[in-house]
Structure 1
Amino acid sequence: MGLTRKVTSASTLGAVDFRSDKERIARSTRQGAKATKKQNKLIAEQNDLLAQQAAPAPYVQQPQYVAPAPPPRRRRSA
């Protein structure tokens, strides 16, 4: 894109910009779209994790506590 601009930039040691305004805008737009796409993907993954964590745990009936039987009483002999 713009071979003349590239050669001029190299020969003037950067006095002329290497990229034209159109190239700069297109490049920043592409990078912004790529970053937005990556961010949306991360947000979707986080939402999936939050949904999994917020899901109620399956109900598991806890065993009932049963007190042990008292030891047998000794009879006093008279």
Structure 2
Amino acid sequence: MTTQQQPATADIAQRVAAIWTDVLGDQPGTFFELNGQSIAAVQIAAAVEEQLGVTLDIGDLFEDPDLETLTRNILARVEG
């Protein structure tokens, strides 16, 4: 990873965390542990697409990721 990529990665991770926190709160846990439901999945997917330009299938959230796992999945899509 180059120095130029690191800020982009950090910025994306920060944005994903902000989206997650806005929808599910700032407690640790997985999507379902934080009472994530269909409406929360739609809100997260829409915000990720709007803010990051990454299409996130709501089914990805129904695999019950935590914030770290979701961030890794989004970063993989951005980088790949």
User: Normalising by the residue count of structure 1, what TM-score does the alignment of the two structures yield?
Assistant: 0.30
Which structure is richer in relative contact order (CA contacts within 8 A, separation 6 or more)?
2
User: Hey, which of these two has a bigger chunk of helix by percent?
Assistant: 2
Q: Structure 2-normalised TM-score?
A: 0.30
